[in-house]
Amino acid sequence: MSTITAATSGINLAASLDQMQELMDRSLTRLSSGTSATSPADNPVGLAQSSTFTGQNGRLQAASTNIQNALSYVQTSDGFMSGMSTVLSRLSQLATLAQDPTKSASDISLYQQEFTALQEQMRATIGGTTAEIGGTTGVASPLGTFNGVALFGSGGAGMTIDTGDTTGDVATIQQANLKSGAMLNVITEDNTGAYTLNLTTPNAVATLNSAIQQLATERANTGATEARLNVASASLQVQSQNLTSAISSITDTDVARESTQLAKYNILLQANTSMLVQANQTPKQVLQLLKQ
């Protein structure tokens, strides 16, 4: 039917043109933003899933940071204990040298000066109250700390850190126990501030050898803790990578597919525009009939 009051073909083409323009605008937005869902209406379920995954991934990354800090803590502790191992070996050597009957009193005195200086260094590193390590003042601010947290203790519950995104994912880090046993005997002072262990103390060499063994055991425990933390760190990294991949598959734009869609919408938009121009010519043709 040829009419001039209701150009239905033009109206339909105009509606189709608006639809193609909207689709093309969405495609351009996805390509420019890199996000496949530019509004919640595009993918409600996917956005809900990606929000959940993003929160979980954030917790995993925070736990990974905790583990890295814990690793730094135990590595710092082992570094101090490595130095103390060298000191104990030297103390044992001095105690053995002091037993040489050919040494003069002056020689023994020099050995004792070095012996005491090394004890002071170890005492300052381990630290403790007078109740723990004796003396007149104790060591309130030991050298052996990490970010203000003491590295060496006398046993206890240890520190608990989160190693995952759920409540049960935790690890306990024990302080190296250097305030008991033979190690305590090496650094303990009496109530006058004098060390209870010196070169002339009976069985001094045996005490130092026991301290060396105790320190070796603590270093082994620290190494086991470090190995566990490394495994936990690697596990978190894998989980985070998988979550990142899942989030990407939901929210990221498939550039190749979207570029193809854009080309399609562009062609359809041009075709609709051309057809709309043709449709608008129909009423003019009807008017020509009226002029005849």
> pLDDT tens across 45-103, in order?
777 777 788 888 888 898 899 999 999 999 999 999 999 999 999 999 999 999 998 99
Residues 84 and 143: their CA atoms lie apart, in Å, by: 12
Amino acid at 34: G
Question: What does the pLDDT average to over 231-242?
Answer: 90
Q: How confident is the model at residue 6 (pLDDT cuts 50, 70, 90)?
A: very low
Q: Is the pLDDT of residue 115 over 50?
A: yes
Torsion sign across C-alpha atoms 49, 54, 59, 61:
positive
Of all residues in the chain, the percent with pLDDT exceeding 90 is 46
How high is the pLDDT of residue 257? 75
Question: What does the pLDDT average to over 252-277?
Answer: 68
SS3 call for 140: coil
**Token couple for 103:** 């040494």
Amino acid at 93: Q
Q: Is the pLDDT of residue 16 over 90?
A: no
How high is the pLDDT of residue 206? 95
* Averaged pLDDT of the chain: 83
**Token couple for 23:** 């689709």
Q: Is the pLDDT of residue 264 over 70?
A: yes
Q: Is the pLDDT of residue 34 over 50?
A: yes
Report how far apart, in Å, the C-alpha atoms of 136 and of each of 2, 18, 183, 191 are: 113, 89, 19, 6
How high is the pLDDT of residue 234? 92
